[in-house]
Structure 1
Amino acid sequence: MKTVKFVHLTDTHMNAPGKDGLLAKFQLADKVAQAFRYIEETKIAPAFVLITGDLTHEGDAEDYAYIRQVLDEGSRLIGAPVHVVLGNHDHRGPFREGYLGEQPSEEPYYYSHTIDGLRLIGLNSQVPGNHNGTVDETQLAWLKQELSTAAPHGTIVALHHPMLGIGGMLGDHILTNRRDIGEALVGTDVVGVFAGHVHSDNVGSYMGIVNVAAAGTAFIGKADAEENFRMIDACSINVVSVTPGEGVSVQTLTLPTSGTEYFRFPMKALAAQH
């Protein structure tokens, strides 16, 4: 059976050059360019690249136009398309205007594409002004209809908020209606759910379906003994292989960075951000 390979990036938090803001000074687009160079130099040859949200950090249309430029350059370099979903730090109107070239709209961004026989379903789990996520009823109904027909090599689902917390942590930052989503996926051809948001690698299963949360491409999060959450300079990518009838494998690769701390905040403050 044909194995379909893709690269999973997440939480790129890019801003256009010259912008102000918490993360703009770190030039995080350089990390994304580094990831695409690595993909090309190591001949990974993915069918596509998937980015599971927080494309920017509270960006405007100018930021999204710049992100589109960065990702288009990466796509040309590796000869593969890039597909994205939106995260809690993204904004739908500016995304549609700057990235898609459409009229600004607050409509959720979701889609279905089939690439080399593998169906990719992208969902919008944003709740504006909130850190946790929900897939609304309209998307759920559409998802069920989409999954009523199987794809040649199965289906993966991509969204920003994961279905699993991390060892009891960050439970308030995952999907609030994960059971509804799980019930929509059980018994279909879905072989895995791919997410970001938590800035840490986390692989498990929910209702019998593989769930993968990837560490950030821009930075990773680490808890310390003083109950702080530390954001560390890092660049992580996942290479995912889907083989029909066999399953999913995930290889995590960490690219060279300084490893310095960007910033930290108390875990209690994180827990308060519902």
Structure 2
Amino acid sequence: MRQPIMFAHLTDTHINVPDKNPLFEIDATKKLRDMFAELGKLSQKPAFVVISGDLTQDGDVDDYRHLREVLDEEKAKLGVPVYVALGNHDSRPFFREGYLREQPSEESYYYSFMEDGLRIVVLNTQVPGTHGGRLDEEQLAWLRDVLAAPAPNGTIIVHHHPVVPTMTPLMDSHLLDNPQDLAAAIEGSDVIGLLSGHIHCNNIGLFQGVISAAATGVAFGIEPTGNDSMKFVDNSGYNLVLVKNGQMIVHPMAMAGDQSIVFEWKMDAAHAHA
């Protein structure tokens, strides 16, 4: 029997370079460093860390350079690899130039890796220029090819836009646009779970019979029950994920924060109830 695998799922770091005006006056870099410090205090070190998108707030090349420096320092201290996905706030060309240190391009960023028999598939649900999320046919075809052969310890998919219903129609409007296509791609495969972000609050449900879990944002949270407004809250958290006996188990972890409302985005009634 394979040994259990535990890893950390972070999301929505929303980092900018330090000399920029911070979003909501929140120091997102400090929050990310504090989270890695907490990971270092765990009795069991995670096998790896994966961040499911919205890596930066503005998506500038210097923001990605700064993020790479921070993550290089933190993963060296923790002693584990860090993997990232892109979200709606991210820029493909500037990510490639600043974070990957490659030539900039609009090429979509998705890949898979294996950790002790567990396959992690990192998808790109962003639609450049919008806040919406969608998986195009090229990526879905690639996913079907990857899943054609099972992994020894199953597969977990990491993506930015969630796929299971939330507590309100307002938050439901931020889900993946074509979940039925993802459902068809994973049907009959070895997928045991999906991990996402985007909505800045814990949200756990079933998708095609497997657990789908969104994590609270690193930079800030969103109060999950508002339908006429979004209340942005000074809190943060992450998920500890355990793969054991063929199952994905998710344990939400909360970080210290004053829980104050740092911004409220009010919707008109037509938008809020669409």
Q: Counterpart in 2 of 1:84?
A: 84
Q: Counterpart in 2 of 1:128?
A: 128
- Is the alpha carbon distance of 1:255 and 1:26 closer, same or farther for their aligned partners in structure 2, counting shifts above 3 Å? same
- Is the alpha carbon distance of 1:118 and 1:223 closer, same or farther for their aligned partners in structure 2, counting shifts above 3 Å? closer
Q: Counterpart in 2 of 1:237?
A: 238
Write the letter of the residue equivalent to 1:202: N
Write the letter of the residue equivalent to 1:70: V
Distance 2:57 2:270 in 1: 17
Distance 2:227 2:138 in 1: 42
Write the letter of the residue equivalent to 2:173: D
Contact 1:154 1:244 in 2 (8 A): no
Q: Counterpart in 1 of 2:257?
A: 257
Distance 1:241 1:42 in 2: 14
Q: Counterpart in 2 of 1:164?
A: 164
Write the letter of the residue equivalent to 2:196: A
Distance 1:29 1:192 in 2: 29
Q: Following superposition of structure 1 onto structure 2, how do residues 207-246 of structure 1 map, counting pairs within 5 Å?
A: 207-222=208-223, 227-245=228-246
- Is the alpha carbon distance of 1:105 and 1:97 closer, same or farther for their aligned partners in structure 2, counting shifts above 3 Å? same
Q: Percent of aligned pairs with the same residue?
A: 42
Using the TM superposition, give the Cα deviation of residue 99 of structure 1 relative to its aligned residue in structure 2, in angstroms: 0.3
Q: Deviations over 1:164-216 (max 9, x none)?
A: 23124322211111101011111111100100001110000112121111111
Structure 1 gaps of 5+ residues are none
Structure 2 gaps of 5+ residues are none
Contact 1:235 1:254 in 2 (8 A): yes
The total of aligned residue pairs comes to 271
Q: Following superposition of structure 1 onto structure 2, how do residues 43-192 of structure 1 map, counting pairs within 5 Å?
A: 43-169=43-169, 170-192=171-193
Please report the TM-score for the alignment, with normalisation by the length of structure 1.
0.94
C-alpha RMSD of matched pairs (Å): 1.9
Quick check: 1:202 aligned with 2:203? Answer: yes
Using the TM superposition, give the Cα deviation of residue 98 of structure 1 relative to its aligned residue in structure 2, in angstroms: 0.3
Distance 2:71 2:104 in 1: 20
Distance 2:256 2:270 in 1: 28
Using the TM superposition, give the Cα deviation of residue 262 of structure 1 relative to its aligned residue in structure 2, in angstroms: 1.7
Write the letter of the residue equivalent to 1:56: T
Moved more, 191-200 or 171-180: 171-180
Distance 1:225 1:65 in 2: 35
Contact 1:158 1:195 in 2 (8 A): yes
Distance 1:224 1:209 in 2: 24
Distance 1:87 1:22 in 2: 17
